[in-house]
């Protein structure tokens, strides 16, 4: 029997801002021995309203920064980046790449009983059609209703994740979806920023609607892939995590502490140079 290989290199995690920290938190819980490097492109968030070509270019630039850190695996913890740039990233890098769309879609298909699934996402993710395609691949009998929510990412990045302002904005999006026929029984949070709004979202939709996101299932997918590749860090590994942002560090920390509390690593500022030579289509 061949001994399993070990790979102590870090896992790279990318998001357009702070939302991917919800995925990072699940990765920490599932894979406590693994070192993680997180990059949030807060200087250019939100990605959702941007043209697809620009999202691909920004994502490739951020991925290049993470590849320079000698990562063994990449997680695109941004739904818009996954929907718009996953294939381009896989064509550009030499390490495995996991996106968040398919794991989230599988979770939604597994949760629904009525086969009526609502998806809240950025405008770019909705336009891409990535979630309906992935949900129908998991369950061909499902019906998928998408809703673009352009105000939510800026709201989360500003630290507004509960209270009257958050509830008012969320109700304006959710009430028409909840009142439509047929009635949905599952709501997929199709942006990794949105789990930071889970409490008010759950209050609004009520107990009859399952609220699911891709963080847990993405962490499972990463764990399974590491095992398949024999690429876990060895026993007794002492992980050394890094968190970086292209934006304002203090503003990033204010929101990030809601996810990690005192366990948040020191946040560093990252500078991403434009990489004009990289393909964008």
Instruction: Supply the residues annotated as catalytic.
Output: 78, 191
Query: What DSSP assignment string belongs to 140-205?
Result: TT-EEEEEE-TTHHHHHHTT--SSHHHHHHHHHHHHHHHHSSSPPSEEEE-STTGGGGHHHHHHHH
Please tell me the distance from the alpha carbon of residue 222 to that of residue 10, in angstroms, as a whole number: 13
């Amino acid at each position: 029997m061949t001994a399993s290989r070990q790979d102590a290199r870090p896992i790279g995690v990318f998001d357009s801002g702070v939302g991917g920290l919800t995925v990072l938190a699940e990765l920490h819980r599932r894979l406590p021995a693994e070192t993680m490097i997180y990059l949030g492109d807060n200087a250019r968030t939100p990605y959702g309203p941007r043209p697809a070509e620009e999202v691909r270019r920004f994502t490739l630039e951020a991925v290049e920064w993470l590849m320079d850190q000698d990562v063994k695996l990449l997680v695109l913890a941004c739904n818009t980046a996954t929907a718009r740039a996953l294939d381009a990233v896989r064509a550009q890098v030499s390490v495995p790449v996991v996106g968040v769309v398919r794991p989230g879609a599988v979770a939604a298909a597994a949760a629904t009983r009525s086969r009526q699934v609502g998806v809240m996402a950025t405008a770019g993710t909705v336009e891409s059609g990535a979630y309906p395609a992935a949900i129908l691949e998991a369950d061909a009998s499902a019906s998928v209703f998408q809703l673009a929510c352009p105000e939510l990412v800026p709201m989360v990045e500003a630290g507004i994740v509960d209270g009257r302002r958050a509830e008012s904005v969320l109700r304006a999006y959710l009430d028409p979806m909840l009142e439509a026929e047929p009635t949905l029984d599952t709501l997929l949070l199709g942006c990794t920023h949105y789990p930071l709004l889970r409490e008010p979202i759950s209050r609004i939709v009520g107990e009859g609607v399952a609220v699911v996101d891709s963080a847990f299932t993405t962490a499972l997918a990463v764990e399974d892939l590491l095992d398949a590749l024999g690429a876990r860090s060895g026993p007794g590994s002492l992980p050394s995590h890094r968190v970086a942002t292209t934006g304002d560090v203090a503003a990033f920390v204010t929101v990030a502490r809601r996810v990690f509390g005192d366990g948040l690593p020191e946040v560093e500022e990252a500078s991403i140079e434009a990489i004009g030579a990289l393909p964008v289509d």
